[in-house]
Structure 1
Amino acid sequence: MTTTFLRPGDRVLLTGDSITDWGRDREQPDSPWGLGHGYAGIVAALAGARRPDLGLTFHNRGVGGDTARMLRERWQTDALDLEPTVVSVFVGVNDTWRRFDSGAVTSTAEFEEHYRAVLDVTRERLDPRFVLVEPFALPVPPVHEGWRADLDPRIHVVRRLAAEVGAVLVPADGLFAAAAARTSPERWAFDGVHPTPAGHGLLAEAWLDAVGLPAA
């Protein structure tokens, strides 16, 4: 078998905001229903189908509405206590969204502080491998032109942190922009942020490609 980023027996944690959450069962978080029906569930399904020999275990701890600060506040219970060997983080768009829908401003520096703290404590305690997914937004209401000036610096933070910790980077912003240019933004994210079923499939394929588990 081809060598991948993933290793036999890995415990993979996928966490972030509603895009990761996407219908997961909080009452049975570690059951098959606990993975939800978005990209996290698709990743687990396809990874298991493509490499059953790896014996991977997946956990979904996405929480809708989370900002980087909120993710940090629940990190002990929803990440460290699980002792994952692979940690996938997808957060950032709500740090932008809250600026425009409720006036709750999180500076880029604050965003980086919270994100970096999560990575640092995880490296110190567990030393896992990381997958960092860029936040993205497409021009579908409520997303408007002003979002880019706020979101783009956060995307650059994620890219920089990925390089610093040696993480696999999933370049979701460019991926969704390119897909939208081929068809329409609504095809991939019905409100510019939350993926359609096709968008979740696109994201899952990109995640699997990034870690070296592409389709045959």
Structure 2
Amino acid sequence: MHIQEEDTLLFIGDSITDAGRDRTDPASLGSGYVHEIARTLRGRTGTGAGPAVINKGLNGNRVYDLESRWATDVIDHRPTVVTVKIGINDTWRRYDCGLISPVGEFEACLDRLLADTARTLAARLVVITPFLLPVTPGQEDWYEDLSPRTDAVLRAALANGAQVVRADLTLLRAAEEKGAAELAPDGVHPSPYGHRLIADAWLAAIDSGTSDLRP
């Protein structure tokens, strides 16, 4: 997959995608990986232009929240490339308030969103895997829920021909050198450096045209 200037890139997900964007300003991209991707793509044009970029991340979203707003926040914008980053809140809510998101239902919902988007828009699809960098007591236990959920994300991506960005592997490898808190102080929300790593992983995956679907 190669991004063209005439493309419209839409990113949707939870707070990691939101990254503090101004929801009253449609052009706001927040301060996270979406902003970093847009800045890099503009720099490549040499003119400061580049493809249109839309950020529809929303704090606290689980996959079912994405489904409830998919028509207005994705389909209506007619993007040519759609990137989805979701899953950590489906796990987190189990541990902080007992709200269960069964992996089978999660996978079915994500599969519907990807399939409907490909069918309705003929858009190219990109999926960023959820990740966790445990820094607080008990976060290691979250892998019981998150690991099978990540496998579900990979299956849904494969079934729908989506490009995969392995943020989980990228950040875990970096954490071995830098430490988890340097990349995500609370184990979930990336630091500026963590966001840059996600952006670089997205750009590398898109430029190479290959996906890592290993569990």
Asked whether the two chains share a fold, i.e. TM above 0.5, the reply is yes
Counting only pairs closer than 5 Å after superposition, residues 1-216 of structure 1 correspond to structure 2 as 4-29=1-26, 31=27, 34-51=28-45, 55-141=50-136, 144-212=139-207
Residue number in structure 1 paired with 2:212 = none
Structure 2 residue runs of 5 or longer lacking an equivalent are 209-215
Larger mean CA deviation between 42-51 and 90-99 belongs to 42-51
Q: Secondary structure at the match of 2:82?
A: strand
1:37 maps to amino acid: S
- Per the alignment, do residues 143 and 81 of structure 1 end up closer, same or farther by CA in structure 2, a change over 3 Å counting? farther
Distance in structure 2 (CA, Å) of the matches to 1:51 and 1:167: 25
Query: Identity across aligned pairs (percent)?
Result: 43
For the Cα contact (< 8 Å) 2:118–2:125, is it kept in 1?
Answer: no
- Per the alignment, do residues 105 and 5 of structure 1 end up closer, same or farther by CA in structure 2, a change over 3 Å counting? same
Larger mean CA deviation between 142-151 and 101-110 belongs to 142-151
Distance in structure 2 (CA, Å) of the matches to 1:142 and 1:50: 43
For the Cα contact (< 8 Å) 1:143–1:192, is it kept in 2?
Answer: no
For the Cα contact (< 8 Å) 1:137–1:143, is it kept in 2?
Answer: no
Deviation at 1:7, TM superposition (A): 2.8
1:152 maps to amino acid: S
Deviation at 1:127, TM superposition (A): 1.2
Show CA shifts across 1:155-194 (max 9, x none): 1111122222222110011111111111210010011000
Deviation at 1:146, TM superposition (A): 1.4
Show CA shifts across 1:78-134 (max 9, x none): 100000000000000000000000100011001112111111211121010011000
Distance in structure 2 (CA, Å) of the matches to 1:89 and 1:147: 21
Distance in structure 2 (CA, Å) of the matches to 1:140 and 1:91: 20
Aligned length: 207
2:59 maps to amino acid: G
Distance in structure 2 (CA, Å) of the matches to 1:51 and 1:165: 30
- Per the alignment, do residues 145 and 87 of structure 1 end up closer, same or farther by CA in structure 2, a change over 3 Å counting? same
- Per the alignment, do residues 45 and 86 of structure 1 end up closer, same or farther by CA in structure 2, a change over 3 Å counting? same
| TM-score, normalised with respect to structure 2 | 0.92
For the Cα contact (< 8 Å) 2:33–2:196, is it kept in 1?
Answer: yes
Distance in structure 1 (CA, Å) of the matches to 2:178 and 2:29: 29
Structure 1 residue runs of 5 or longer lacking an equivalent are none
Structure 1 ranges of 4+ moved more than 3 A: 51-55
For the Cα contact (< 8 Å) 1:142–1:192, is it kept in 2?
Answer: no
For the Cα contact (< 8 Å) 1:135–1:155, is it kept in 2?
Answer: yes
For the Cα contact (< 8 Å) 1:24–1:36, is it kept in 2?
Answer: yes
For the Cα contact (< 8 Å) 2:111–2:160, is it kept in 1?
Answer: no
